[in-house]
Chains A and B, each alone.
Chain A
Amino acid sequence: MKIKEVVELLNAKVVSGHDQLDAEVEFAFASDLMSDVLTIETDNLLLLTGLANLQTIRTAEMSDINKIIFVRKKKATSEMIRLAAENDMILIECDYSMFKSSGILFNSGVKPVY
């Protein structure tokens, strides 16, 4: 599935990385705990998280994750957007809960990591 379809399904808003809307999404992982995110070895991962701070972006950078969806109406700060842009990431904001967002994507064929 393309990331732009994810954006439509979740009625979400892209706040950074508009040039990457055609990128493919195969796997997703949902967590607020960055320590858990840092243990994932799968490449080309979409991260769903309710944790919106600079360390979310840093964690994604170290884990080679370049697609992040902030759920539960969490917003990316300008500092986060700047750091994300430096690392060619796409940042998406979504008003749905983590459970609802994950359920919609799972039903649409996005695969879990484990």
Chain B
Amino acid sequence: MHFEFHVEGGNFSKAGSASSQLKKILKQLNVDPRIVKRVVVALYEAEVNVVAHAYQGIIYIDIDTEKIEIRLVDEGPGIEDIELAMQQGYSTASPEVREMGFGAGMGLPNIKNNSDRLSVTSQVGKGTTVEIITFLNN
């Protein structure tokens, strides 16, 4: 199964709507609730990152019997130092993002904790791609 969602940079009122839709889909597919929680927490963190930092992005989701593959491709400033961004506590979030209860430098580490595979690639001035894979039979 393949799904795509558009994410608008800066629009916090819509942040999380793709994650919410994926949660509904996974529940309908009778995926183990513990796996659903891991997947949607990881996607929600990543979706908030796109809203917080990028101009826009697309979320591609592929579900088969073995795994859930999520790819977030954004157009934005990119990440200069991915290793630094992965460190807990490091953040470049704006005051607006912090007012929303985020921007504490916990997003990427939390995505890592809630996924089986995480890959982050970025090109400064162009954008960032985040790939999250979760296996269904673990």
Q: Which residues of A contact B (CB under 8 A)?
A: 32-39, 41, 51, 53-56, 58-59, 61-64, 79
Contact = CB atoms under 8 A, between A and B. Distances in A.
Nearest to B99: A53
A109 to B, nearest CB: 26
Q: Which of A33, A39, A51, A62: most chain B CB closer than 10 A?
A: A62
Interface in B79-138: 99-104, 106-107, 110, 113
Contacts, number: 69
A67 B72 CA distance: 30
B110 A39 contact: yes
Interface of A is mostly: helix
Closest 9 CB pairs of A and B: A34-B101, A58-B16, A35-B106, A62-B44, A55-B100, A62-B40, A35-B104, A51-B101, A62-B41
Interface of B: 12-13, 15-16, 19-20, 23, 33, 37, 40-41, 44-45, 48, 99-104, 106-107, 110, 113
Contacts of B100: 34, 51, 53, 55
A84 B74 CA distance: 29
A36 B40 CA distance: 15
B33 A35 contact: no
B51 to A, nearest CB: 10
B12 A54 contact: yes
Nearest to B12: A55
Given A35-B110, A38-B45, A54-B13, A64 B20 contact: no
Nearest to B43: A62
16 contacts: A33-B102, A34-B100, A35-B101, A35-B102, A35-B103, A38-B41, A51-B100, A53-B12, A53-B99, A55-B12, A55-B16, A55-B102, A58-B19, A58-B20, A61-B23, A62-B20
Nearest to A79: B13
